[in-house]
Amino acid sequence: MSTPLQALKKKTNEALGIRPEDAVLSKSYLLVAFAALLIGGILGLLQGLNRAGLLDLPHWFNYYQVLTAHGLLLVLVLTAFFTIGYFYAALSHTLGGLLPKVRKLAWVGFGLKMAGFVLAVIPILMNKATVLYTFYPPMAASPVFYFGLVFIVLGVWMCAFGCFIQVANWRKQNKGKHVPILAYFATGVFVLLFFGSIPVTIEVFMIIPWSLGWVETINVMVARTLFWAFGHTLVNIWYLTAVSAWYVVVPKVIGGRRFSDTLTRVVIFLLVIMNIPGGFHHQIIDPGIAESVKFLHVFMSLAIGLPSLMTAYAMFSVFEKTAKKKGGKGVFGWFKKLPWGDVRFLAPMMAMIAFIPGGAGGIVQSTNQLNQVVHNTMWIVGHFHLTVGMSVVLTFFGISYWLVPYLSKRVLTPKLNKLGVIQTIIWSAGMGLMAIAMHWVGLLGSPRRTSYTTYFDNATALGWDPYLLFLAVGGTLLMIGVILQVYAVVHLMFFAPKGETEFPIAEEEEDAAKTPYWTERWGRIIFVMLLVIAMGYVIPMVEFIVNAPPGSPPFKTW
Amino acid sequence: MEQRKVRLEEKNVEKRKAPVGTWFSLSIVAAIILGTYLLMFWFYMDRV
Amino acid sequence: MKMHLDEKIWLIISFGMIIGFMLFTGYQTFVLGMGPPSHMETIDPQKVDETAPFDNPGVYQIGEKEYEVVMILEVFRFQPGEIEIPVGSTVHFTMTSKDVVHGFQVADTNLNAMVMPGHIQKISQTFHEPGEYLVLCNEYCGTGHQFMATTITVK
């Protein structure tokens, strides 16, 4: 039972909205996220224009520097800062305000991450860390770049610890009660962030002495595998963040109830448990991993698809139920009853639609030898622009239209809602066009991570050019989308009319069954997660280390 | 107790009749997954 | 745990689809030997030039319509380049990298493999159709990455 004090806190929180100190924290995180979107978006446009053969990038800021910065800003800064800003607002809202020490931890984390990004970006701008965001050894960047990464990870850990302390404190004061669903999502996300970033930390600590010249060689397969244990987890951290809005926020926005609380929690902890070994599907055509191990990993990767297929069911079921209450009938009728003109629904809905082909591509390209058809081709770039660029980012945009005014105590005006709808359409069109072209040209063989080239006027390569033009078209549309979105965020944060905006959290169905308490046993969930990680990693890691070749010295090939 | 059970079952049947829209949408999801598989599999076998 | 019958059916269908993909892939991998390139041998990446077979990179005929290509990948070239083979030949590539991570990809074929320093990678392909095939590096390897390409001519 909650203490009277807690109950009072919760009530005041709901009545008066978020506390100003907590609002400043989340607003700062969101501002950094959207600043990263603006800069990362401009860099993306430059790349699109280059790949289409329309723009030569100068020597002092070449394609691969642009690509390194684009990747770092969008897949690290935008997503991490948004995720943290959003979940800290949710923790504050649903757990009765942040504890002072938790807020302090989040600010320390903010500082550490900003310091880390500055350290990482300086060598990138100086062309001393043109290693792309995957920084595979034996390419060696300036040590400063890796120091930056360490600070970023430390900053992320501060935020993870803050979340754990906040949730543990709430549980202590509310014995026997379920953590509110958004706080449960936050716990899942921060558990993944913490455990997922351990492998990359080990990797960076292998690299630092090597890049400083204190150690002569490095084991490239170990480094690469540690990277992907983190890299794939990062993907599902954004995804789980987006999913939280699909399950909890979208039903409220469309005027419905949310899907079964138990099944929602099951989806969350399944994603947490199965995630980390997914990294191996980035290494399907690597040497040094036996075919039998790779086959085991096909199963481990495809299993991650199951919670998403459960989500597909949950979403359609909620949509149909809600629309039927409003009189929508038959196979299609319900579709028209959804609030398509409301950006808070439209943006996450487009995100979900994009996840259908995105997820399908993910399942198929992880299927062992089929990966040979598309590995490291533009298909993959198309895939993650659908999944991250649409499923995740459009959901974030959709969230921003209520989260930002909620934080700034302002309201979303109908005019700005319309702007949001237009933004969503432009973004979907741009990303859709670009992603389709990328998928197809990838099937034809065009490689990813390569600046514009005809390979000495090779006929095959010249045949890709018409498709690559769509990268410029898509990139231009997306740039317009970025500008509209950043304008909307700034407007909602500082200029929109004053007022109260609700933090939309859907209620359960009236006849919902009680959620069993075992879903709260995070100790057990983490234990199973560690077992699954061991299942996936022990055999190949032992193989890489015991049968290691002589290591590689550092190279600077740019 | 018995009565409640019967009522619950009725309710379930009522709910189960309904989700044609859900099934229609899910069949699109399944079709896209299968379609993507077949597309890539066709490319793979064509190049063996 | 309460789950609607519809959801159970959907999950069984989903799981069935995934298991179907798995079984079929497994059959191709283990019965037909079509698994992804996964060679396990290692090599000293700093002594590639002195280690057999890479001390003599080149194209070797090892049977009727069967060739072995011993290939070194380094910034920013494939050695040997501009390979010529008769139509209908099966070619076994044995590769390693002398420096950073490279990707070996031949457009319009299933040849696609990561080539890592310290590891030997093997992959095979039968060329049924005549023509000029584009060989390219599909893992970023440095400033000249976009020029790392050659051809296989099948006559």
Query: In angstroms, rounded to a whole number, what is the distance separating the alpha carbons of residues A44 and A334?
Result: 38
- Cβ contact A75:A385 at 8 Å: no
Q: Where are the domains of chain A?
A: 10-507+524-546
Residue A336 tokens read as 């028209």
Residue A485: name the closest of A402, A406, A392, A422 by CA: A422
Residue A64 has pLDDT above 90, yes or no: yes
pLDDT of residue A329: 80
Alpha helical stretches, state H, A18-99: 20-51, 63-71, 79-94
Query: In angstroms, rounded to a whole number, what is the distance separating the alpha carbons of residues A143 and A137?
Result: 13
Residue B16 has pLDDT above 70, yes or no: no
A557 to chain C, any CB pair closer than 8 A? The answer is yes
* CATH for A10-507+524-546 (3.30.565.10, 1.20.210.10, 3.40.50.300, 1.10.10.10): 1.20.210.10
Transcribe A216-241 into DSSP letters: --B-HHHHHHHHHHHHHHHHHHHHHH
Contact (CB<8Å) B16/C126? no
Domain of residue C103: give its range.
48-154
In a mutational test of the C interface, the residue from A274, A310, A369, A452 whose CB has the highest number of chain C CBs within 10 Å is A369
Query: In angstroms, rounded to a whole number, what is the distance separating the alpha carbons of residues A301 and A292?
Result: 14
What confidence tier does A325 reach under pLDDT thresholds 50, 70, 90? Answer: confident
What confidence tier does B10 reach under pLDDT thresholds 50, 70, 90? Answer: very low
Among candidates A333, A335, A360 on the partner chain, residue whose Cβ is nearest the Cβ of B36: A360
Query: In angstroms, rounded to a whole number, what is the distance separating the alpha carbons of residues B44 and B41?
Result: 5
- Cβ contact A208:A188 at 8 Å: no
Report the pLDDT averaged over residues A161-169.
97
Residue B3 has pLDDT above 90, yes or no: no
Could you give the C-alpha distances from A506 to A320, A456, A515, in angstroms and in order? 16, 58, 16
Report the pLDDT averaged over residues A154-180.
95
Residue A124 has pLDDT above 90, yes or no: yes
Summarize pLDDT for A327-355 with one digit per residue, the tens: 888 788 888 889 999 999 999 999 999 99
Summarize pLDDT for A534-548 with one digit per residue, the tens: 999 999 999 999 999
Phi/psi at A301 (nearest 5 deg)?
-75, -45
Put simply, the chain A residues between 379 and 438 with a CB less than 8 A from any chain C CB are none
Residue A375 tokens read as 């590995």
- Cβ contact A226:A199 at 8 Å: yes
Query: In angstroms, rounded to a whole number, what is the distance separating the alpha carbons of residues C136 and C150?
Result: 7
Summarize pLDDT for A233-253 with one digit per residue, the tens: 999 999 999 999 999 999 999
SS3 readout for A362-402: HHHHCCHHHHHHHCCEHHHHHHHHHHHHHHHHHHHHHHHHH
Residue of A nearest to B46 (CA): A373
Query: In angstroms, rounded to a whole number, what is the distance separating the alpha carbons of residues A138 and C100?
Result: 5
| Number of Cβ within a 10 Å radius of residue C86 | 12
Q: C138 and C87: one domain?
A: yes
Q: C70 and C31: one domain?
A: no
Residue A324 has pLDDT above 90, yes or no: no
Contact (CB<8Å) A313/B26? yes
Q: C28 and C53: one domain?
A: no
| Number of Cβ within a 10 Å radius of residue A134 | 17
Report the pLDDT averaged over residues A377-402.
96
Task: Go through chain B and tell me how many residues it has.
Answer: 48
Mention every residue, 6+ apart, whose C-beta is less than 8 A from residue A400: A30, A34, A485, A488, A489, A492
| Secondary structure (3-state) at A249 | helix
* Mean predicted lDDT score pLDDT of chain B: 77
Mention every residue, 6+ apart, whose C-beta is less than 8 A from residue C117: A138, A220, A552, C45, C96, C97, C98, C99, C100, C101
Residue A167 has pLDDT above 80, yes or no: yes
* Mean predicted lDDT score pLDDT of chain A: 93
Least reliable range by pLDDT among A141-155, A293-307, C81-95: A293-307
User: Which chains pack against C, by 3+ Cβ pairs within 8 A?
Assistant: A, B
Partners of B37 on chain A (C-beta within 8 Å) are 360, 363-364, 367, 370
| Secondary structure (3-state) at C108 | coil
Contact (CB<8Å) A557/C141? yes
> Domain with C107 in it: what CATH number?
2.60.40.420
Q: How many CB pairs under 8 A join A and B?
A: 70
Task: Give the alpha-carbon dihedral of A130, A133, C142, C137, to 10 degrees.
Answer: -170
Residue owning tokens 């999502």: A185
Report the pLDDT averaged over residues A141-169.
96
In a mutational test of the B interface, the residue from A306, A317, A366 whose CB has the highest number of chain B CBs within 10 Å is A317
Residue at C43 is within a domain: no
pLDDT of residue A333: 80
Among candidates A313, A328, A370 on the partner chain, residue whose Cβ is nearest the Cβ of B41: A370
Partners of A312 on chain B (C-beta within 8 Å) are 25-26, 29
Residue A443 tokens read as 């099937």
Residue at C134 is within a domain: yes
Summarize pLDDT for A21-32 with one digit per residue, the tens: 999 999 999 999
Among candidates B16, B22, B47 on the partner chain, residue whose Cβ is nearest the Cβ of C109: B47
What confidence tier does B37 reach under pLDDT thresholds 50, 70, 90? Answer: very high
Query: In angstroms, rounded to a whole number, what is the distance separating the alpha carbons of residues A49 and A431?
Result: 15
Residue owning tokens 């926005």: A253
Residue A241: name the closest of A420, A17, A354, A391 by CA: A391
Contact (CB<8Å) C146/A286? no
pLDDT of residue A327: 85
Mention every residue, 6+ apart, whose C-beta is less than 8 A from residue C18: A302, A303, A305, A306, A363
- Cβ contact A54:A472 at 8 Å: yes
Contact (CB<8Å) C110/B15? no
- Cβ contact C43:C116 at 8 Å: no
Summarize pLDDT for A83-104 with one digit per residue, the tens: 999 999 999 999 999 999 999 9
Phi/psi at A133 (nearest 5 deg)?
-75, -10
pLDDT of residue A1: 40
Residue A251 tokens read as 């039903």
pLDDT of residue A7: 60
Residue A309: name the closest of C90, B25, C54, C44 by CA: B25
Report the pLDDT averaged over residues C25-53.
94
Phi/psi at B35 (nearest 5 deg)?
-60, -45
The shares of helix, strand and coil residues in chain A, as percent rounded to the nearest 5, are 75, 0, 25
A359 to chain B, any CB pair closer than 8 A? The answer is yes
A306 to chain B, any CB pair closer than 8 A? The answer is no
Could you give the C-alpha distances from A224 to A209, A399, C98, in angstroms and in order? 17, 34, 17
The identity of residue A385, as a single letter, is H
Q: C91 and C130: one domain?
A: yes
Residue A158: name the closest of A192, A113, A91, A100 by CA: A113
| Number of Cβ within a 10 Å radius of residue A180 | 20
What confidence tier does B17 reach under pLDDT thresholds 50, 70, 90? Answer: low
Residue A219 has pLDDT above 70, yes or no: yes
Q: Where are the domains of chain B?
A: 19-48
Element (H, E) at A200: helix A181-211
Query: In angstroms, rounded to a whole number, what is the distance separating the alpha carbons of residues C41 and C33?
Result: 18
Query: In angstroms, rounded to a whole number, what is the distance separating the alpha carbons of residues C139 and C45?
Result: 18
Alpha helical stretches, state H, A409-521: 414-444, 459-462, 465-494
Residue A402 tokens read as 């209520």
Q: Judge if ipTM > 0.90.
A: yes
B26 to chain C, any CB pair closer than 8 A? The answer is yes
Residue A494 has pLDDT above 50, yes or no: yes
Residue at C4 is within a domain: yes
User: Which chains pack against B, by 3+ Cβ pairs within 8 A?
Assistant: A, C
| Number of Cβ within a 10 Å radius of residue A341 | 11
Residue A89: name the closest of A105, A74, A110, A103 by CA: A103
Element (H, E) at B27: helix B20-46
Query: In angstroms, rounded to a whole number, what is the distance separating the alpha carbons of residues A43 and A55?
Result: 12
pLDDT of residue A2: 47
What confidence tier does A106 reach under pLDDT thresholds 50, 70, 90? Answer: very high
Residue of C nearest to B19 (CA): C6
CA atoms within 13 A on the CB side of C154: 22
| High-pLDDT (> 90) share of chain A, % | 90
In a mutational test of the B interface, the residue from A373, A378, A509, A511 whose CB has the highest number of chain B CBs within 10 Å is A373
Element (H, E) at C133: strand C131-137
Total domain count, chain C: 2
- Cβ contact A525:A271 at 8 Å: no
Report the pLDDT averaged over residues A41-63.
94
pLDDT of residue A510: 85
